[in-house]
Amino acid sequence: MPQHPANTDCSCVLLFRVNNAGMVIGNRLLEIPDKLIDEDTCKAFLPDMIASRGGHVVNIASLAGMQGMSRLTDYCASKFAAVGFHESLTVELKVGGHDDVHTTVICPFFINTGMFDGAKSTVIPFLEPEYVADQIETAILLNKEHVIIPGYLTPLFFFKLLLPSNAYWWLGRSFRVERSMDAFTGRQKTA
């Protein structure tokens, strides 16, 4: 939890929690080991945020939390859960009268960290970590609730709601989105 240094005049304490869990196995659902489950620790931080009448919960999801993809069943499930968790927590805080505790969910495209090595995109370039970090910082400062990175992809999710599923599937196939993980190798372990 970042705090202002003691030698400044600021009397406020900035409380925020970033939830970021996700791993990529790159296998189909039935090939994924059952033991790969993470716990969320947001519950431990939330009471202090509510008591101090301020704070920010940032959930790092993914575009894979808004659109399923082949060979990403495990990852999509965890990121869809992060989006659902964000939406439910946001509603709970508002219903409870805790509008001063903010929430943000971040849904980036593939980030060039090595986690998705081998995956390919024919249309959208992989994002650089520094760019994504800047977008996250801006979202927090502006109290944005939902951020898609890059932002120009936002209209695609309106199409998902409006188009019949077959039409949306055809749209994805025309950009070869469903084949993005075909050459996936993942981050290679170094000795």
User: Measuring CA to CA, how many Å separate 100 from each of 15, 50, 51?
Assistant: 11, 8, 10
pTM of the complete model beyond 0.85: no
103: containing domain: 16-179
pLDDT tens-digit profile of 74-93? 889 889 989 998 998 899 99
Q: Burial-class residue 49 by CB neighbours within 10 Å (0-12, 13-18, 19+).
A: buried
Q: Is residue 89 part of a domain?
A: yes
pLDDT tens-digit profile of 153-181? 999 888 888 989 888 888 878 777 777 88
Q: Is residue 64 part of a domain?
A: yes
Q: Is residue 9 part of a domain?
A: no
- Residue with more model confidence, 23 or 124: 124
CATH of the domain at 71: 3.40.50.720
| Per-residue pLDDT at 41 | 65
Average pLDDT over residues 16-20: 57
Report the chain's mean pLDDT, rounded to a whole number.
81
| Per-residue pLDDT at 28 | 55
| Per-residue pLDDT at 29 | 45
Number of domains in the chain: 1
Contacts of 180 (CB under 8 A, 6+ apart): 69, 110, 119, 120, 121
Q: Is residue 3 part of a domain?
A: no
Q: Is residue 10 part of a domain?
A: no
Catalytic residue among 75, 131, 152, 168: 75
Q: Is residue 34 part of a domain?
A: yes
Q: Is residue 11 part of a domain?
A: no
| Per-residue pLDDT at 20 | 59
pLDDT tens-digit profile of 30-44? 455 666 544 456 777
Confidence of residue 185 (pLDDT cuts 50, 70, 90): confident
Q: Is residue 8 part of a domain?
A: no
pLDDT tens-digit profile of 97-143? 999 999 999 999 999 998 899 998 888 899 999 999 999 999 999 99
Active site includes 75? yes
